[in-house]
Structure 1
Amino acid sequence: MTATTQGGAPGWESRPYLRIATEEAYAPQEVLDEYRKILDSGDADPGFVSLMGYFLGSEHPQPRSVMEKISSLGESRLQDMDATGIDKQVLALTAPGTQVLDVATAKWAAELTNDRLAEAVAAHPDRYAALAAVGFEDSSSAIAELDRAVNTLGLKGLIANSHVKGRYLDHPDFFPILEAAADLDVPVYLHPQTLPGDVIKPWQEAGLDGAVWGFAAETGLHLLRMITSGLFDRLPNLRVVCGHLGEGLPFFMSRIDHMHAKQVASGRYEAIKPLNQRPSEYLKSHIWLTTSGMPWEPAISFTRQVVGADRVMYAMDYPYQFVAQEVADQDALPYSDGEKVDFFQGIAERVFKL
């Protein structure tokens, strides 16, 4: 297959693969308006204020540009994709998603988002695919909405914008939703959110609570909790995708395995029990990683080496990290054409059934 989309760098028009970007953000304007109401209430979680207070309140050109782009599913987004040689985006509701909304509003926001995404996919099937949102605090309606989104609307997975008001997906309340995703054979995309409650304070006072490091700390913790809780042993068909090259976990695989084994042997923590395999092996058996926000060859090559090249796929992180040079940098990765076909296209097609 030869790509036909014209990008902004020489040679893109003749590449032997499609570029499928797999962590690309969207939010309906109505959901952004709900976020503004929470901010205006004066009673919002500090992490939410850190995140959406900046993007919805700052006059700086960068956050203003992000907010202008994030609610578009039409020509402006397609033009940005063309300008950077992105053939297809896998769209999903941006952080903090439904997680900060009350139960009724979360249900409404998920349905609205899924309908809008399905309409965009129907209008541009060669350019878009999408993941479903649900309201996580009501498992029965979440399961019904996920089923509708997948089986009626044709969406390709479930977006989970990390913790739900301080609770993580290893909590028993969320098991039925994850079980439904496994039964539907669709992946769960675990996406960062800001640290919850007072936990954010030491990060925020140093200016390190967002994408610079706080997101990795929060979402790396979340993914590791899912692993060490035995969630994947109880749901062997559950598939998870995580961005930013696994939020640092690949670098710590050996240490995590070593310390987990010592904790199991000592019985130090009630939460740490024996698993069917070493914690690192779940990164090779149940979890896929994307390069969103991490367009750095040494990190990409290391991650491919330790979890397997078939576990690492391309993502841009549009519109938060929308840099044409980063696409060119990943085009220049020192891999064969066959490896690049898989990296940019094949893995995404298999994982999301595109």
Structure 2
Amino acid sequence: MLGKIALEEHVTTPANNELWDSSGEAARNGKAYMDEVDRRLLDVDERVELMDRHGIDVTVLSLTSPGIQSITEPETAIATARQTNDYLREEYVDRHPSRLRVFAAVALQDPASAADELERAVTQLGAVGALVNGYTNIGGPDEARYLDAEENFVFWERVAALNVPVYLHPREPLPSQTKIYQGYSSLVGSAWGFGHETSTHAVRLMLSGLFDRLPRLRIILGHLGEGLPFLLPRLQHRLEKQHDGTGLGKAERRVSEYFSENFYVTTSGHFHTKPLLDAVSEIGSDRVMFSVDYPYESMAEAAAWFDSALIAENDRAKIGRHNAERLFGL
């Protein structure tokens, strides 16, 4: 299929590289693999050549995980988010304005500043929304604030006012929550830990009452919904059995209703047709969108799978392009 739009495509900047220690990631993934990923995270023109080769018309770029959310000093986080957004506009979008778009980086260490930076990025730099890498470190590397926290409501109000989506991208669980992975460190990240961390984060948003207060909010999840299309019916069933229990949150509706009305999912890094069909059956083909997860994944592999997947051609066109056109006004 020609003309695809891809939404979970990562970059970094020289300044951001200086802030993060990637040695653990290199150890888990293999040095040769991560050296190539790191090279491609800084690349501009080669990714456009690969897009041409594999029928991808537009990609939406975002700062790679853990991103701004891992910076423990609020003033540094605020300044880095602004510098990142300016860099992505100047070094990527301005060089390929018809092919590249961006999700804004935001510093939720200070939610009001994050709201202001999102508005600047959308209205002045052309960002199509924001991408948030999971929880935000507050005070230290093992202290976190999740997106359902009341302190973040000022940010969500601005998201709703700007009428743009937020992509909830994974990051590794807090260090204190990784005991189950001891001896199996390769599971901490994208192979397993990412999905568990992010699906739980999404459920927190559903149960928090956020979508009752701001019903027009739209959240995007990668990796075919981080397992939620399969797991959510069981979750809903058990929550209804536990209706007299504690810790049920403030939600006024069923979790399946929020999932089908406030969430979209992408195919990023999950190139398997049966899970795709499961996602379509749970959320509808109007809320599934193509993505690659480049450079952690291969455009060639993603495109070859999607272009030949045994799905209806009408759904292929919607998932490959039209749903993203509609959501982002591209």
TM-score normalised according to structure 1 size: 0.86
Superposition map of 1:161-310 within 5 A = 161-165=133-137, 166-207=144-185, 208-263=187-242, 265-266=243-244, 268-269=245-246, 271-273=247-249, 275-310=251-286
Q: Does the CA-based 8 Å contact 1:183-1:237 persist in structure 2?
A: no
Is this contact kept in 2: 1:18–1:341, CA < 8 A?
Answer: no
Which of residues 33, 38, 52 in structure 1 aligns to 2:18? 33
The residue aligned with 2:63 is 93
Aligned length: 321
Counterpart contact for 1:56–1:64, Cα < 8 Å: no
Partner AA of 1:241 in structure 2:
I
Unaligned stretches of 5+ residues in structure 1: 1-14, 40-50
SS of 2:10's equivalent in the other structure is strand
Native 8 Å contact 1:20 1:86 kept in 2: yes
Matched, 1:18 2:3: yes
Match of 1:6?
Answer: none
Alignment-derived partner of residue 46 in structure 2: 76
- 1:87 is displaced (CA, Å) by 1.8
Query: 1:99-178 maps to which residues of 2 (within 5 A)?
Result: 99-101=69-71, 102-119=73-90, 120-165=92-137, 166-178=144-156
- 3-state DSSP of counterpart to 1:318: coil
Go from structure 1 to structure 2 and tell me whether the alpha carbon gap of 1:114 and 1:206 turns closer, same or farther (over 3 Å shift).
same
- 1:52 CA drift (Å): 5.6
Sort the Cα spacing of 1:274 and 1:103 in 2 relative to 1 into closer, same or farther, 3 A.
Answer: closer
SS in 1 for 2:60: strand
Q: Does the 8 A contact of 2:208 with 2:250 survive in 1?
A: no
- Write the letter of the residue equivalent to 1:125: P
1: distance between equivalents of 2:182 and 2:259? 30
- Cα separation, partners in 2 of 1:273 and 1:191, compared to 1, 3 Å: closer
* Structure 1 residue 201: Cα displacement: 2.5
AA at the equivalent of 1:144: D
CA distance in 2, matches of 1:184, 1:114: 17
**How far off its partner does 1:253 sit?**
2.1
Distance 2:37 2:16 in 1: 15
Question: Which of 287, 295, 298 is 1:322 aligned to?
Answer: 298
Contact 2:269 2:293 in 1 (8 A): yes
The percent identity for this pair of structures is 37
- Structure 2 CA distance for partners of 1:193 and 1:52, relative to 1, 3 Å: farther
Q: TM-score, normalised by structure 2?
A: 0.92
**Residue of structure 2 in register with 1:5 after alignment:** none
